[in-house]
Structure 1
Amino acid sequence: MAAVAQRQSGWLPHQELLVDPRLLLPCKDIPGDLLFLIDSSGSIYPNEYQKMKDFMKSVISKSVIGKDEVHVGVMQFSDVQQLEFNLNQYSSKDAMSNAIDNMLQIGGGTDTGKAITQVSQYFDVGNGGRPNLRQRLMVITDGEAQDEVKHPAAALRAKGVTIYAIGVKDANTTQLLEISGSPDKVYTERDFDALKDLESQVALELCDPERDCKKTEKADIIFLVDGSTSITLSKFRSMQKFMQSMVNQTTVGKDLTRFGVILYSTNANSIFSLNTYNSKQEVVNAISALKSPFGDTYTGRALAYSLEYFNENHGGRAALQVPQILMVITDGDATDRNNLVVPSSVLRDKGISIFSIGVEGANKTQLEIMSGHDSSKVFYVDNFDALETLYKNITQVLCNTTKPGKSSKSLNMDDS
C-alpha cells in the first residue's frame, strides 16, 4: 500500500494515520518567519541531538525558502542561549542545512523560559524579522523546563508569534501547553526516532492558512456508522464527537454541505437524510441524539443500503455535480467480509467517494477495499480516544477533495 504511516501526536501519542503522500508536498506561497528553538541540554544524547538536526533540515526541505518566501532561523538553548543563525542570514536550503550540520551541542540545564524570552527579539525588524508576515516559533525539548515558561510564552504570543511545542521522551505536557497556548499546537513523541514520522505533518501544519483549504464548502456527506455490539457506550460517544467535529469543520446549508447519518449493525437504518437539516446546529444536535443499535457488523449490507440515500429524493445533488462522500466508521471485521467489493464498487461507479475510517480492531484490508485502494481516503487509529482528533487530518483531505470545480466523478486532490 502506498500510504504513508504517520504518527500524529498532540495529546494522543499512539495513533497511526494513513495519509496521502501528495499532502506532504511543499506548500505554495507561504511567506513568513520560522524560528527553531531547540533543547541542547546535557540530557540529550549525541545521536538524539543529530535527530533533532535532521528533523529541522527535513522541515526546511519541505518549505518554500527564499528572499520573499519563508525565512528560517535557529537558536539552541540549555541554561544559556546560543543563536546559530537569524532569520535573514540565509536564503537557501543548502546554506541552512550546512549551518545546522555545523551546530555543536551545548550541554547543561534546561532553562526553556529564559530561552523563549531571549528568542523574542529575533522576530523584530532590527534582527531580520518581518512582523507584518506570519511568524512562528517551533520549540523542541526532551524534558521538564527548570524555569517558568507560561509568562515568557504568553508575552511572545502577544507579539503575534504562533508557538508550536514538540516534546520528546520525558517532556512535561503541561508545560508544552503553556508554551503553545493551544493543544492543537502541541506534539508529544515517544522517542527521538519518532520525530521522523512528524516531519511531513509539521511541514503541512506550517502552510499558510489563508491559502490552504480550511473548510469543505459544498458536498453531500453521509456517515455510515458501525453500531455493533462490540462498540461500548463510551466508544460510541467518541464516534459522535468525531462526527460533530467533522460537521463543525464545514459550511452547512441547503446550498452548501449537507449531512446524513446511517447507523448499522445486523441491519442498516437511515437516521436522517441529506435534505433533513439545513443548519450546523441541527446536524450536531441530531448526532448527539443517536443511539447505538447493537448487533453484528454487516458492513457490506450497509454499503448497499446507503446507495439510495445519495439519490435526489433524499437530498443528493449528483446532478449538480456536487461531490458525494460516504464516510464509513467501523471498529471491527465485517461479518459479511466477502460482500464488500460489489457494493463498494457500485457506490464508486456512481461517483460516490468512500472514506474508510477504522478504529482499534478494524481490518485494514477491508478499509482499502471500500475506498477502492485509494490511500488518501483510508484512515486508521488504534483507539477511540484518538478518533476524536482524527478529524483534523480527514478535514484536509476532504477539503481538497471537494474544492470548487471538482465533479463528483473526478475527485483527484490538489496539493495545498
Structure 2
Amino acid sequence: MGIVVLTMKASVIEMFLVLLVTGIHSNKEMTKKIKRPKFTVPQINCDVKAGKIINPEFIVKCPAGCQDPKYHVYGTGIYASYSSVCGAAVHSGVLDNSGGKILVQKVAGQSGYKGSFSNGVQSLSLPRWRESFIVSESKPQKRVTYPSTLTYSSSKSPDAKAGKCSFVTHTSRQNSHGAKPGIQKQDSPGAAFQDPLGADVGLGFIPKEELSTQSSEPVSQGDPNCKVDLSFLIDGSSGIGKRRFQIQKQFLADIAQALDIGPAGPLMGVVQYGDNPATQFNLKTHMNSRDLKTAIEKITQRGGLSNVGRAISFVTKTFFSKANGNRGGAPNVAVVMVDGWPTDKVEEASRLARESGINIFFITVEAAAENEKQYVMEPNFANKAVCRTNGFYSFNVQSWLGLSKTVQSLVKRVCDTDRLACSKTCLNSADIGFVIDGSSSVGTGNFRTVLQFVANISKEFEISDTDTRIGAVQYTYEQRLEFGFDKYSTKPDILNAIKRVGYWSGGTSTGAAIHYALEQLFKKSKPNKRKLMILITDGRSYDDVRIPAMAAHQKGVITYAIGVAWAAQDELEIIATHPARDHSFFVDEFDNLYKSVPRIIQNICTEFNAQPRN
C-alpha cells in the first residue's frame, strides 16, 4: 500500500513538473509573439508648423525641398512655433535640402526671435510668441516614447487627409469667479475664445474665430542685422520686353522675401526708369515682405529709353528724404538693374550719389557683345558708377534666366553694413580733435574768436556717436583735455561745450601739445574713423615739434596746421600732413580766421573722396 501511495505521489510530482515546464515554454512563446510594435516615424510636409502639432516632443521625417522661402521660419536656434518645422531644421543645419529625420522638442515662448540667413534659408524676426521649439538630430532619448501618429490642433491636418484623424479634446471649466468656459488657442500669443453657449467644446471643434486668427501670419519687425534703406532702380525701357520685365519683377519679389522687411530692419522702395524715372513706392509705403511682394506684382512697364544716369540723379535728389521714409541712421543703398547698357552717361550722376552717402550697386544683365560695344555711350560704365572696383558692388549676369542665382549673394552684400563704405562721407566719418593754443599772446578776446572758428568748422559736420565726433585740447606750457570724442554726441551739445572752454594763458609748447593729443584724445578714436587734428597757434613753439608731428603722421592722424599773426610758417609746414600746401593755412590776424573755413572743409572732402576705398 505504501508503495502505491509513493508511486502516485511521484506521478503527481512528475505531472506538475511537466505542466510547469510546458507553461514556461508557452510563456516564452507568448513573449516572442507579443513583441513591441516597431516605431514608425511619421512624415510631414514642408509647410507644417510646429504649433499645429500638440505633442511636446516627437520625431518626424521631412521631405526634400524645404529650403524654399515660402516655408517661413521665425528665429535662430530657438524658433517660434509658427515656423515650418522642416524649414527650421534646414536653417539650423540639422538637415540639408534633401530632407530626413529630426527630433523636435517644444520649449517656452520667447520675448523676441532674431532672424538670420543660414544654410540657404532666411529666417525672419519676431517680437514675441507664446511657444517655441528646437530641432536636433533624430537620436531618441532614453525612456522617452515617441508617437507614431502625431496629434494636431485641428482636423485640418495631414493625418486627417489620409483618414487617420487625431483630435484634441478641449475641456471647458467654470472658474472660481463663475466666468464662462473658454478654450485657449494652440498657436496664438495669449488669446482665448469662449463658446457662446457656455457648453463643453466637443471633439475636434475649433471656433471659427480661432481658425481665422491661426491662419493670419505674424508680422515681422524686420531683421535688425540688416537695417538699411534700400532703393531698387528697375529697367522699364522698351528694349527689355515683357518677358524679361516679368523676370525682373520676380527677382524683386525674391529679394523682398529674403530681406525680411520691417521697421526694425531693412526698408525697400522701387523706382522704375525709362525715358524718365518715377517712384513706384517709397521706403515707408510697405513695412513687411508680404505687402511688398504684392505691390511688386502690380508694377506695370513704362517703356522708353534706358536713361540710367537720369534715374540715379532722381534718386539722389528725391528718394532718400525724410518725407519718403529715410531713417537717417541706416545706410542708403541703391541697386541699379540694367538690361544691356544705359542710353545716357552714369559716371557723374553716380559720383554725386556716392558723395551724398548712397551705396551704388549695379546689376548688368546680358551686357554688350563685342560687336555691340560701339553703341555703348560710356564704356565700362558699371565700374565707373560703383564705389569700389573689386567686384563687391557690381554683378554681371550672363542671362536673365540666371538672375535668380544672385539673390542670396546680393542680400548678403547689401546687409553687410561694415563694408558699405559709400555711406561714409567726408562729413560723417571722422574723429576731429582741435588742439587750441591758449598762450598769453593770444589774449581773451582773440581766444573767443578762435573758439568761434572751431565752432564754425564743427557746424559743417554731421555729428553723432556713429558719425563725426569732436574733441578738444587746450595747451600752453601744459595741456588740458577740454572734452573727449565720447563726451558729446549732438551738434548743439558740441557747440555749447566749445563756448564753455575757458581761456588758460601761459607759454607755447606745441610739440608737447601734439604728443598729449595723440595720447589723451586720439588713442580713444574708433578704428574705422578717419582721424583729423586741427591745430591753431599764434606763435613759434618753445619746444621741438618735429618728433611729435612725425608720430602723428605715422599713426595716420591727418594734421591741419592753422597759423595766426606771429606763427612760424616753417613750423606749420612741419606739423601739417604732406602735402603741406593742402594742410597748412596762415592768416595775418584773428578776425580773418573765418575766411579759411570753406577751404579747410573743401580740402578735407577732396582728400576723402580721392582716397581709394577698396
TM-score by length of 1: 0.45
Larger radius of gyration: 2
TM-score (norm 2): 0.31
